[in-house]
Amino acid sequence: MDLFPVLSPVKDLGTFIRDQRTSAQISLRGLAAKAGVSNPYLSQVERGLRRPSADILAQIAHGLSISVESLLARAGILEAAEAPEVVLAIRADAVLTERQKSSLVDIYSAFRKESEASVAQVVPVGGDMPSGRTAAERAGPPGQIKSSR
Protein backbone atom coordinates (compact mmCIF):
# COMPACT_ATOMS: atom_id res chain seq x y z
CA MET A 1 0.00 0.00 0.00
CA ASP A 2 1.37 3.39 -1.00
CA LEU A 3 1.55 5.78 1.94
CA PHE A 4 1.62 8.88 -0.25
CA PRO A 5 -1.38 9.52 -2.48
CA VAL A 6 -0.56 10.47 -6.04
CA LEU A 7 -1.76 13.97 -6.84
CA SER A 8 -2.12 15.36 -10.32
CA PRO A 9 0.99 17.32 -11.33
CA VAL A 10 -0.93 20.61 -11.51
CA LYS A 11 -2.64 20.11 -8.13
CA ASP A 12 0.65 18.97 -6.57
CA LEU A 13 2.35 22.10 -7.93
CA GLY A 14 -0.41 24.32 -6.57
CA THR A 15 -0.22 22.65 -3.17
CA PHE A 16 3.55 23.12 -3.16
CA ILE A 17 3.21 26.83 -4.00
CA ARG A 18 0.57 27.30 -1.29
CA ASP A 19 2.76 25.48 1.26
CA GLN A 20 5.75 27.67 0.38
CA ARG A 21 3.64 30.82 0.57
CA THR A 22 2.18 29.96 3.97
CA SER A 23 5.55 28.89 5.41
CA ALA A 24 7.03 32.20 4.22
CA GLN A 25 4.06 33.96 5.87
CA ILE A 26 3.08 35.71 2.65
CA SER A 27 -0.58 36.37 1.93
CA LEU A 28 -2.14 35.31 -1.35
CA ARG A 29 -2.54 38.99 -2.23
CA GLY A 30 1.10 39.70 -1.28
CA LEU A 31 2.49 36.91 -3.46
CA ALA A 32 0.20 37.89 -6.34
CA ALA A 33 1.59 41.44 -6.16
CA LYS A 34 5.21 40.22 -5.97
CA ALA A 35 4.69 37.82 -8.89
CA GLY A 36 2.76 40.34 -10.99
CA VAL A 37 -0.34 38.16 -11.34
CA SER A 38 -3.93 38.64 -10.21
CA ASN A 39 -5.27 37.28 -6.93
CA PRO A 40 -7.86 35.05 -8.63
CA TYR A 41 -5.27 33.62 -11.03
CA LEU A 42 -2.84 32.73 -8.22
CA SER A 43 -5.70 31.20 -6.23
CA GLN A 44 -6.59 29.02 -9.23
CA VAL A 45 -2.95 27.96 -9.58
CA GLU A 46 -2.81 26.98 -5.91
CA ARG A 47 -6.03 24.97 -6.23
CA GLY A 48 -4.69 23.14 -9.29
CA LEU A 49 -7.21 24.68 -11.68
CA ARG A 50 -4.67 26.54 -13.81
CA ARG A 51 -1.25 25.53 -15.11
CA PRO A 52 1.04 28.58 -15.15
CA SER A 53 3.66 29.19 -17.84
CA ALA A 54 7.38 28.95 -17.12
CA ASP A 55 7.58 32.76 -16.98
CA ILE A 56 4.80 32.99 -14.38
CA LEU A 57 6.42 30.19 -12.36
CA ALA A 58 9.71 32.10 -12.41
CA GLN A 59 7.91 35.21 -11.11
CA ILE A 60 6.23 33.13 -8.38
CA ALA A 61 9.58 31.55 -7.41
CA HIS A 62 11.15 35.00 -7.09
CA GLY A 63 8.18 36.16 -5.00
CA LEU A 64 8.67 33.17 -2.70
CA SER A 65 12.49 33.53 -2.66
CA ILE A 66 12.94 29.94 -3.81
CA SER A 67 14.92 28.43 -6.68
CA VAL A 68 13.31 28.93 -10.09
CA GLU A 69 14.86 25.64 -11.23
CA SER A 70 13.28 23.66 -8.41
CA LEU A 71 9.84 25.12 -9.13
CA LEU A 72 10.17 24.48 -12.88
CA ALA A 73 11.34 20.91 -12.17
CA ARG A 74 8.39 20.36 -9.83
CA ALA A 75 6.07 21.63 -12.59
CA GLY A 76 7.61 19.17 -15.05
CA ILE A 77 8.89 21.96 -17.30
CA LEU A 78 12.55 21.47 -16.48
CA GLU A 79 14.12 18.09 -15.93
CA ALA A 80 15.76 17.90 -12.53
CA ALA A 81 19.50 17.46 -12.93
CA GLU A 82 21.10 14.43 -11.37
CA ALA A 83 22.31 15.62 -8.01
CA PRO A 84 25.11 14.43 -5.74
CA GLU A 85 24.10 12.52 -2.60
CA VAL A 86 24.59 15.64 -0.47
CA VAL A 87 22.01 17.56 -2.49
CA LEU A 88 19.59 14.62 -2.38
CA ALA A 89 19.98 14.46 1.40
CA ILE A 90 19.30 18.19 1.73
CA ARG A 91 16.21 17.94 -0.47
CA ALA A 92 14.92 14.93 1.47
CA ASP A 93 15.23 16.60 4.89
CA ALA A 94 11.70 17.02 6.24
CA VAL A 95 12.77 19.49 8.94
CA LEU A 96 14.16 22.17 6.61
CA THR A 97 11.93 24.62 4.77
CA GLU A 98 12.14 24.82 0.98
CA ARG A 99 13.90 28.18 1.31
CA GLN A 100 16.53 26.67 3.65
CA LYS A 101 17.02 23.71 1.31
CA SER A 102 17.44 26.02 -1.66
CA SER A 103 20.00 28.15 0.21
CA LEU A 104 22.01 25.11 1.30
CA VAL A 105 22.04 23.66 -2.22
CA ASP A 106 23.12 27.04 -3.66
CA ILE A 107 25.96 27.35 -1.13
CA TYR A 108 27.06 23.75 -1.70
CA SER A 109 27.03 24.26 -5.48
CA ALA A 110 29.06 27.46 -5.18
CA PHE A 111 31.70 25.72 -3.05
CA ARG A 112 31.84 22.82 -5.52
CA LYS A 113 32.36 25.17 -8.48
CA GLU A 114 35.04 27.10 -6.58
CA SER A 115 36.87 23.88 -5.66
CA GLU A 116 36.62 22.48 -9.18
CA ALA A 117 38.01 25.73 -10.60
CA SER A 118 40.98 25.73 -8.21
CA VAL A 119 41.73 22.05 -8.95
CA ALA A 120 41.57 22.77 -12.68
CA GLN A 121 44.18 25.52 -12.24
CA VAL A 122 46.55 23.33 -10.21
CA VAL A 123 46.36 20.13 -12.26
CA PRO A 124 46.14 20.54 -16.04
CA VAL A 125 43.66 18.42 -17.98
CA GLY A 126 44.85 14.83 -18.10
CA GLY A 127 46.55 15.14 -14.72
CA ASP A 128 50.07 15.72 -16.11
CA MET A 129 52.24 18.03 -14.08
CA PRO A 130 54.87 20.27 -15.71
CA SER A 131 57.54 17.71 -14.82
CA GLY A 132 55.78 15.15 -17.04
CA ARG A 133 54.68 13.09 -14.05
CA THR A 134 51.11 12.88 -12.77
CA ALA A 135 50.15 14.40 -9.44
CA ALA A 136 49.88 10.90 -7.93
CA GLU A 137 53.41 10.03 -9.10
CA ARG A 138 54.79 13.25 -7.63
CA ALA A 139 53.03 12.60 -4.31
CA GLY A 140 54.75 9.25 -3.88
CA PRO A 141 53.39 6.11 -2.26
CA PRO A 142 50.46 6.43 0.17
CA GLY A 143 51.52 7.13 3.75
CA GLN A 144 54.91 8.57 2.76
CA ILE A 145 55.50 12.05 4.15
CA LYS A 146 57.76 14.27 2.08
CA SER A 147 60.00 16.86 3.60
CA SER A 148 59.12 20.46 2.77
CA ARG A 149 62.72 21.27 1.81
Alpha-carbon span 107 to 27, nearest angstrom: 28
The rounded distance, in Å, linking the Cα atoms of 102 and 23 is: 14
Backbone angles phi, psi at 33, to 5 degrees: -65, -45
Q: What is the mean pLDDT of residues 61-86?
A: 79
- pLDDT value at position 12? 86
Per-residue pLDDT tens over the stretch 85-125: 787 788 778 888 888 988 888 888 888 888 777 766 655 55
- Helix, strand, coil shares of the chain, percent, nearest 5, are 60, 0, 40
- Among 2.170.130.10, 1.10.260.40, 3.30.465.10, 3.40.50.1000, name the CATH number for the domain at 9-74: 1.10.260.40
Enter the pTM of the model. Answer: 0.53
Instruction: Please report which confidence band the pLDDT of residue 135 belongs to, taking 50, 70 and 90 as the band edges.
Output: low
For 35, 134, 145, the CA distances from 17, given in Å and listed in that order, are 12, 51, 55
CB 91 within 8 A of CB 105: yes
Q: Is the pLDDT of residue 36 over 90?
A: yes
